[in-house]
Structure 1
Amino acid sequence: MLKVFDPRQLGHAPEREFHNGGWADYAETPVRSRIVAERVGDTVPARDFGMAPVERVHSPDYLAFLRTAHDRWVEAGRTGDAIGYVWPVVGRRPLNLSRIDALLGQYSYDAATPVAAGTWDAAYWGAQTALTALQPLLDGEARASFALCRPPGHHSGADYCGGYCYLNNAAIAAQAAIDAGKRRVAILDIDYHHGNGTQDIFLDRDDVLFASIHADPATDYPFYWGHADERGEGDGVGATLNLPLPRGTGIEAYLPALDTALAAIDAFGPELMIVSFGADTFAEDPISHFKLQTADYGTIARRIAGAGLPVLIVLEGGYAVDALGENVDAFLNGF
């Protein structure tokens, strides 16, 4: 299995986030990727596919914001990381804004996703990591590959960041596969949190199926998306499947949901599957509440591999740092 990791992703290192009513140390730290890279071993760096595949998913104004946000923050006389404090709940529309405070609200949706000095470079190379891992699947040279992406991506929409995510690595890879001639692509999101950005990007599309198994948004982030009645819009009706599960879910209840998702993927008839894999479903994860154990990741992976499709695995969340390498390795070994 090709495993791709680019150290340039480590430059993203915000100091803190606003969480549960107060400042907290930033949870999505560079050490997460270092631990996984050391555990899985034999990684290769990313190739540079340029901006074109990124621009196929993200809007030009959002990309311009993300590239310049921290510089604008510093130019405004601020120190530390750029972070928003006001968001347009209604009437969100394109506006010719210039103040960095306004732009942060326009292009983000939470206070847990600051833009640091190294954020753009890290996010760019995260997207290139996913594209590099995708290539052997498109060329027919591999059946499974792993993109050790950081920052994660599945909460990022076409024109916004949130949930520690800035560029949507899985969506960029899915669109690149479509552009390379794949008629249908399935994205299976098995992070603890719903991949609202991925769903949003493909919500009205009938060539990309988005299936997600996640914590019930009635109790867990991102709250406003990922409910079972969200099935797509327009041409995309039926190409979105949300399978929310309650806190405390263990492997016995998780596997039937996985079987439901895999049956929907089989019925969709994709030529490629992208798995947004988050190890924050682990029982000891500090910000999540499922009860999966390390051995369960191999079981889940074997069921996914049984679908018989080429699979690109893209890393999303997972914050039990001491166990993260072992959990990711167990998942990869299942393939």
Structure 2
Amino acid sequence: MQCFYSPAQDRHAPATFLLRGAPAPSPERPERAERLAEALGGLGLRLSSPASIDSPGLRQRLETIHTPRYLQFLETIHARWRAMPGAAELVAPNVHPAGGGHHYPEHPIGQAGWHLHDMACPIGADSFAGILASAASAEAAADAVKGGERAAYALCRPPGHHAGPERAGGFCFLNNAALAACILRERYARVAIVDVDLHHGNGTQDIFYARGDVWTGSLHADPSEFYPFFWGGADERGSGDGEGANLNIPLSIDSNGRGFIEALDRLLEGMAAFRPEALIVALGLDAHKDDPLAGLALDTEDFTPIGARLNALDLPTVLVQEGGYPTPSLGNNLAAFLRGFGTT
């Protein structure tokens, strides 16, 4: 199986984020990629760099899932932010349009509040290069599968499933899984995204909510008690052309592997009527009981049957890395999933 990662992704490396009102060390740091890469090596899988981390083709594809003004914001905000007197090194908004806003602001502070949904997405001087490189890894994996590979893996860091059409959140800036889905749509008529991250993939849901050609399904900790809080309910089924093409299965906090796998079986049963021709797996590993963002209680061995069930669908598949944060078990969780998926 081809696996993709660019060292340029490490250029996005904010040291802190705001957690419960206080600065805290960010778990979304380059060490994540190091641990995951080590696990891949242990399975005999080699990481390749994308041919390009910034091409006109990639930017055109990103404009199919994100608005032009949002992409421009990500690329230019740090320089404009630092030009303000007294501005901090990292872009971090102090005002948000709670409840919505009527006017798009011109000022950097206003734009930061508009586009950065929460305080987990600080932007540094080199962040955009790292963010774009992560998307390029997803693009490379999707192009490999579009070109005939049975499966490919993108080690995306930063992750992407909380990023909406013009919103960053939860460490996510560009929606790598949505990008991969749009690339597979260039060949396949119906593409499904299955999100097994601890958190609901709210950005992915928003991008495809009114579309009937991409089915989105997510199982995750119950958002009535857990991030992202405002999305992820079982009553969110899509709208317009996408009505019935979105399925959420919220799980009680601290649900174990058995409950998670039973929910995955129900999710896949719900997907069957869509008859997907290709699959994106938004591969979060943060449902593990030791993850620093813990909300569920899976053991490492639970990731093997998860991988096996997704492999049994026998679809062209792009595995896109989402959450899963530095602990001694992180690499083992990826290895367990890939053993189940049948890559070794």
TM norm structure 1: 0.96
Residue of structure 1 in register with 2:167 after alignment? 160
Q: 1:193 and 2:199 equivalent?
A: yes
Residue of structure 2 in register with 1:64 after alignment? 72
3-state DSSP class of the match of 1:51?
helix
3-state DSSP class of the match of 2:318?
strand
Aligned-residue offset at 1:47: 2.5
Partner amino acid for 2:157? R
Deviations 1:82-124 (A, max 9, x none): 00111112343452x3321111011121111111112111111
Select the residue among 112, 125, 135 that pairs with 2:133. Answer: 125
Residue of structure 2 in register with 1:33 after alignment? 33
Q: 1:80 and 2:89 equivalent?
A: yes
Aligned-residue offset at 1:266: 2.1
Aligned 8 A contact 1:284 1:320 in 2: no
Deviations 1:279-330 (A, max 9, x none): 1000111112211111111111001111111111100011243221111122
Q: What's the RMSD between the two structures over aligned residues?
A: 1.2
Aligned-residue offset at 1:51: 1.0
3-state DSSP class of the match of 2:48?
coil
3-state DSSP class of the match of 1:210?
strand
Residue of structure 2 in register with 1:104 after alignment? 112
Partner amino acid for 1:35? R
Counterpart-to-counterpart distance in 1, 2:192 and 2:103: 31
3-state DSSP class of the match of 2:250?
strand
Counterpart-to-counterpart distance in 2, 1:292 and 1:270: 28
Aligned sequence identity (%): 41
Aligned 8 A contact 1:9 1:150 in 2: yes
* Match runs of 1:223-234 below 5 Å: 223-234=229-240
Counterpart-to-counterpart distance in 2, 1:4 and 1:214: 26
Partner amino acid for 1:294? T
Counterpart-to-counterpart distance in 2, 1:241 and 1:92: 28
Partner amino acid for 2:257? I
Counterpart-to-counterpart distance in 2, 1:251 and 1:257: 10
Residue of structure 2 in register with 1:47 after alignment? 51
Residue of structure 1 in register with 2:254 after alignment? 248
Runs of 4+ in 1 over 4 A off after TM superposition: none
Counterpart-to-counterpart distance in 1, 2:161 and 2:259: 24
Aligned 8 A contact 2:291 2:326 in 1: yes
Residue of structure 1 in register with 2:154 after alignment? 147
**Structure 2 unaligned spans of 5+:** none
Partner amino acid for 1:198? T
Counterpart-to-counterpart distance in 2, 1:186 and 1:318: 22
* Match runs of 1:2-21 below 5 Å: 2-21=2-21
Counterpart-to-counterpart distance in 2, 1:133 and 1:269: 22
**Structure 1 unaligned spans of 5+:** none
Counterpart-to-counterpart distance in 2, 1:155 and 1:128: 18
